[in-house]
Structure 1
Amino acid sequence: MAPTLADAEKLDADDPLASFRDRFVVPDDPGLVAYLDGNSLGRPPKATGERLAALVAHDWGTRLIRSWSEGWMELPFEVGDRLAAAALGAARGQTVVADSTTVCLYKLMRAAVAMRPGRTEIVADRGNFPTDRYVVEAVAAECGLTVRWVSSPPEAGVTLDQVRRVLTEQTAFVTFSHVAYRSAWIADLHGITAAAHDAGALVVWDLCHSAGSVPLDLDTAGVDLAAGCTYKFLNAGPGAPAFLYVSAAVQESFEQPITGWMGNADPFAMTSDYAHATGMRRALSGTPPITGLIGVDEGVRLVAEAGIQRIRAKAVALTELAVALADDLLKGVGLGSPRDPARRGGHVTVTHPDAAVLSEKLIAAGVVVDHRPPDGIRIGLSPLTTSYAELHRAMTVFAEVLTRS
């Protein structure tokens, strides 16, 4: 028998993270039954609005340009270190908040090619998020490399055995998403990283659907390079800057391709020649986006306070509830995510031939989800803001929409 609404309310009553919902802006929208798209755009923390108001009134409004020397210049590194400690399993001095995810991935991939001169191949996932694939193809074209694509079933993801079969002595780097954007499949971070290293290759991980949801241990796994966005489970706001991780082991050989003034050894010397800065400053290009960094900082603070292990535990419980309700209530709907919670990230995808139309009907009925072609409806479960009762009500509406369709 499927869990009842009373069961879900009991889970909420016992939820150690329940109080965090009050730390976020609650929309004045009586027609909203459930927001199940926090894995695309997280809700805004109340503290972010307060911090931005203070920024406008004081740091920007009063101190003006003096704020650059009073803290702004170091903010990308300070927030990066806090993010690394709260969500990435990484020591200080390896993470910086910088550009968009696309730009960060491009920097890392071009740098990886440069660090493996003479190698002619890239290993990548054909089912990865479009940006990742587009950047891979662009880098391959620019550098004259061949892409060896790995393909996997849409309800699953790339496995270690698949990667081992395509690695060669010509592989410059491999790049995958740790959590698949469509199915939520969790890739074997340790195993794939080790296999790439055994072949002499580097690894570039996309952590967009991991950061703030699934515990990571980048340092222990020996990850070389990684990037991820901050507006999903880190709740940093629309278009908030992404982060780059460059392992201390490869920082001295890391030469990023977009050589802007902030990555120079002495930005304010205004020298005619570019010289890479030391440490993570060399990963920067242009002026840091201070308003966006404030959003990242407040989102990271909430994740750090809640604790990534507790966040993961609730994510597992939420996705288990979603799967159980889908199995019982959603007739004619398939599961497009792993059944094993250990292999599943913070969202659940269900499949239906009319997924695009159903997604529109669900949103019109007050259940905000998103459609992932060709047949996926993605149910995003953000542990700091999604309640069990909210999910139960949403799945009940989903069943009603199916009945009427």
Structure 2
Amino acid sequence: EDKSGEQAVEGKKVWLQRMLAMIIIFVFNIAFWACFEQAGTSLTLFARRNVDRMIGGWEMSDATTQFFNPLYIILFGSIFSIMWIKLQQRKINPSIAMKFGLGIVQLGLGYLVVLLGGMFLSEAYLVPLWTLAILYLLHTTGELFLSPIGLSMVTKLAPKKITGTAMGGWFLSFAFANYAAAVIAMATGSGGHGGGSGPEKEPTRQEYLAQIESSATAVESNCSSLLESAEQFNLATDFAEDDTTALNLPKELNSMVGDILPTFKAINADIGPMLKDTSTYTGKEVLWSQLTANYAKAVGGLSEALQNVTEATNEMNKGSNYSDVKDNFSSGIVGIGDGLNAMHGKVISIIDRKNRGDAAFDSSNEAYLFKGSQSAMESFDKNYSTIASHMYWDIYSNVYMMMGLITICIGLLLCIISKPLTKLMHGIE
């Protein structure tokens, strides 16, 4: 009886240690997938904004760059399966924890490839397409190190009575990972324009119209201030430090700053009257109220972005280094584009859809209502694209460098503790 009791206690201890090992792996699993799942968000936008996707005379779409991962899965999936079997036969197959660690290290190395591509950065701030090809190769091999063994590990480590619960915990770790992935994507400017919980009480439509008028006045004033700061910026010389690309900022800023106010006025002239008097246009009152709210937030965001760029530029004119004001400057430049695009693209596309069939809302028709703003946005985008790509490159390269270094450290940590973790698993491989 005593011996039986000791065995029961020992068996319970084994299961508890296995569960502890499994939970630790869950935590590292969150770290891996939070970074891996940038593929559908920030990495796709990185491909759009900062990757040269021209192949001969054909331009690959940003979404098409997603094909690398499934292609590598097809090419290497069977090879990895055979490799694990051969290593097992030779009794040198890495442990579960070691595989997870090595997979995370490869993920981090993939993000550091972006810095390698930066050595071949073009004048338009585009890296070669092979940057993404190698990045996704390392991400895929990292995935093949840990993804196929995840579910198998859970079923082996969890007691039979709670296998279902343990499986739920495994998938819950993916939920946490996807939430973390969204937070990381926001850090790269992939969250879009707007956001925030807003005031407790939603303003009325008339209050939003008043906000638009107030913000429009602020936009005009901020544009004037930014023009003056940009002109002075041409004379600044000591702001760049070792960042050679920063030396291009005065030229890039001055090439687009003069287009901001004309573009804003053109959009406002086309959409403003419509938001004030919707009686002659189709669509529910709720729709127009929401459009008015969105437009008000976009104009307010544009005003704030202009102020941020002006403040950062003034600081550099006074002798501050670009590195000291980079966050404020880059977020402001990105915010200018986001604000104008939110005013024009998002609002007009909804109005056009709701009035389909009317010649005044047919962009190919001479009577199209928004020709002025459409032409202004096209002109603005030509001069804005270079400095926008510059700002996005600064953001992506910094964020991906940090992600790469952090994930490599996390992976190495798991490799270091893989032996103690393997002991906790009590023979499970």
- TM-score (normalised: structure 2): 0.20
Larger Rg: 2
Question: Which of 1 and 2 has higher RCO (CA within 8 Å, sep 6+)?
Answer: 2
**Bigger strand fraction:** 1
Name whichever structure is richer in helix by fraction: 2
